[in-house]
Amino acid sequence: MTTRFAHLVDQAQAEARARASSGVPHVTVGISGCSESVGARRTLRAVFDELRRRDLSATVEQVGCRGICYAEPIVDIELPGSPRIAYGHVSEDRVGELLESVLVRHDLRPDLALFVVGEKSVDGIPAEADFEYFRLQQRYLLANCGLIDPLNLNQYVARGGFAALHKVLTTMSPEQVIEEVKASGLTGRGGAAFPTGRKWESARASKERPKYLIDNGEEGEPAIYKDRRLYEADPFRVIEGVLINAFAIGADKGYIYVGGEHRLAIERVGRALQIAREQGLLGQNILGTDFSFDIQLRVGGGSYAAGESSAMMSSIEGRRGMPRPKLVRSTERGVWAKPTCMNNVETHANIPLIIEKGAAWYSAIGTAKSKGTKIFAVSGHVNRPGLIEVPLGTTLRTIVFEVCGGMIGGRPFKAAQPAGVSSAPIAADNLDVPMAIETLQSIGALLGSGGLVIFDDTVCMVDINNYLVNFNELESCSRCTTCRVGTMRLTDILTRMCNGEGRPGDLEALAWLGPLMEQTTLCGLGQAAPVPAVGAMNIFREEFEAHIHEKRCPAGFCEALADRRAPVGASR
């Protein structure tokens, strides 16, 4: 063990011992993009106010998102000598009652508790593994999320952090690292699903210098929020994955690129990079070895198109984020016209896990062609929306009705929209489809980067696809004529249909525009822009035809086409 790494481990152990022997309660409040939207900052202030008002001693800490977005704000309390317990829906007006019960009366309040952190239940409060939302999940990438202070390096190290990097730097060659990643079967988690090991192998083979590495956290499409939550809750895991990638391919410099609208993610990953640099985990002679590498933070301008690899490279160079013709691979000619390797945030988060547990262990999870676990950002008409981590190949039915608790109000499942604005929907007759790359392709859908919106029967498929194509129209960089004009025409057609002005031939126009855009645009935005609408038209054709020929919205959603036969309870 190198002296520097041993020092980090000693520091982490010393802090853990000090906390265990402090003799005062420990309170943590989840602060993340999702929890802030429902008042978690006010809950945090209320905790400090109540402790001061009651003259109670306790340590208070911020953590990130656990993925239990439906139960935010979440507060954990750990009494001396007792297990840590997570409490849900702790709004500011409930803080006083909770602290009075737990800290003063030592009443653990099973009625407010979610679960006990650990393996044993207490007072009827289920253990973490038995908590209904977690029971079918396999939380490896999310293991630290909501549990540790995201900016406390000692807490990350105490849970095994940077041990994989240390192993790589002291016992493995770059070629061995690449072979391990190849053997794991890991594919890119940003949507393209390209084999990660093959990309790294290609990047290492490039001899020109300098060589660059990019962590892609732009994440600008609707209903996808996994990457920013990893940045917010466990940034050191991502940084460790980036460092291992850099060592393997021989990179000279790296960039972490975060979408400009993700304020908290920018703040936390920026501070984490600073801490890593101060502790010898970035810069020259990392952990006392010959390996040197640094990472800079780049903040995007809020452009979805900039998430495409070549557009992001233009953005990093200070130019407008527009895609380039891909005459050569970016591993040969990328940012600054130099060799560049780009991977998604979730991809990098997998790397320490693969190095730590081995390729054989990792490849045993998932399906024959889709290895490992996948984080899904589930939203829509389910009882328990949030971030979940399940093995690839878990069926959509399991995700919707078991992990996420079924449909709100028991309404019928109508469809799921995977992959944000890039995929055809999944209808009810495919609820048992395994959520894996190859099985979704077989039904004309995509896994994408992990968005999953669930719709009940009150949703109009014409209206929702009007929203999706309108998003692509607004986000198009306009470089390609067929994308610029094609997204406008798609929006025009679907808007007219929703307004009762659909025309004969509209569906034929959609069917014609789709292949044209897929074949003639430079990047994934233009190629995927028509896919959801064309897919929905093919699956729900009767609904589309009703809008045109009968001037009727079967879901009862479109105001201009409100129908007396709409489902009971349907509303805007």
Q: Is the pLDDT of residue 107 over 50?
A: yes
31 forms bridges with which residues in the sheet?
none
pLDDT of res. 104: 95
Residue 202, CA distances (Å) to 220, 338, 419, 508 in order: 28, 13, 27, 43
pLDDT of res. 301: 87
pLDDT of res. 572: 36
Q: Which of 358, 341, 294, 1 is nearest to 169 (CA)?
A: 1
| CA pair distance 342, 183, nearest whole angstrom | 20
Q: Is the pLDDT of residue 543 over 90?
A: yes
| CA pair distance 111, 113, nearest whole angstrom | 6
Q: Which of 357, 353, 355, 461 is nearest to 417 (CA)?
A: 461
Q: Which of 453, 442, 306, 318 is nearest to 379 (CA)?
A: 453
The mean per-residue pLDDT over the stretch 546-553 comes to: 95
pLDDT of res. 302: 83
Q: What is the pTM of this model?
A: 0.95
Q: Which of 290, 295, 297, 238 is nearest to 262 (CA)?
A: 297
| CA pair distance 34, 406, nearest whole angstrom | 21
Q: Which of 390, 413, 419, 388 is nearest to 401 (CA)?
A: 413
Helix (H) or strand (E) holding 330: none
Give 297-353 pLDDT, tens digit per residue.
999 988 899 999 999 999 999 999 888 887 668 989 999 999 999 999 999 999 999
Q: How confident is the model at residue 21 (pLDDT cuts 50, 70, 90)?
A: confident
The 3-state DSSP class for residue 213 equals: strand
| CA pair distance 373, 94, nearest whole angstrom | 36
Q: How confident is the model at residue 566 (pLDDT cuts 50, 70, 90)?
A: very low
pLDDT of res. 564: 39
Which has the minimum average pLDDT: 147-151, 321-325, 370-374, 417-421? 321-325
Helices 481-498, 461-475: inter-axial angle, 10-degree rounding: 150
Task: Tell me the torsion sign for CA atoms 129, 132, 135, 141.
Answer: negative
Phi, psi angle pair for 342, to nearest 5°: -120, 135
pLDDT of res. 327: 65
Q: Which of 174, 212, 196 is nearest to 339 (CA)?
A: 212
Q: Which domains, from first to last, does the chain contain?
A: 20-125 (3.40.30.10), 153-361 (3.40.50.11540), 373-456 (3.10.20.600), 461-561 (1.20.1440.230)
β-strands 373-380, 340-344 pairing: unpaired
Tokens encoding 211: 């060589």
pLDDT of res. 92: 97
The 10 Å Cβ neighbour count of residue 429 is 9
The mean per-residue pLDDT over the stretch 291-297 comes to: 98
- Averaged pLDDT score across all residues of the chain: 95
Q: For 550, which DSSP code?
A: I
Phi, psi angle pair for 542, to nearest 5°: -60, -35
Question: For residue 39, with 0-12 CB atoms within 10 Å meaning exposed, 13-18 middle and 19 or more buried, which class applies?
Answer: middle
| CA pair distance 212, 217, nearest whole angstrom | 16
Peptide bond into 210 cis (omega under 30): yes
Share of the chain above pLDDT 90, in %: 90
Q: Which segments of 40-83 are extended strands (E)?
A: 59-63, 75-78
Give 167-207 pLDDT, tens digit per residue.
999 999 999 999 999 999 999 999 889 999 999 999 999 99
The 3-state DSSP class for residue 226 equals: helix
The 3-state DSSP class for residue 538 equals: helix
Which has the minimum average pLDDT: 91-95, 100-104, 523-527? 523-527
Long-range contacts of 90-98 (CB under 8 A, 24+ apart): 90/43, 91/38, 91/39, 91/42, 91/43, 92/39, 92/42, 92/43, 92/45, 92/46, 93/46, 95/43, 95/46, 95/47, 95/50, 96/46, 96/50
Cα 425 versus chain centre, distance: 19
pLDDT of res. 570: 43
Q: Is the pLDDT of residue 405 over 80?
A: yes
The 3-state DSSP class for residue 453 equals: strand
pLDDT of res. 19: 87
Give 40-91 pLDDT, tens digit per residue.
999 999 999 999 999 999 999 999 999 999 999 999 999 999 999 999 999 9
pLDDT of res. 399: 98
Question: For residue 320, with 0-12 CB atoms within 10 Å meaning exposed, 13-18 middle and 19 or more buried, which class applies?
Answer: middle
Q: Are 321 and 314 in contact (CB under 8 A)?
A: yes
Q: How confident is the model at residue 571 (pLDDT cuts 50, 70, 90)?
A: very low
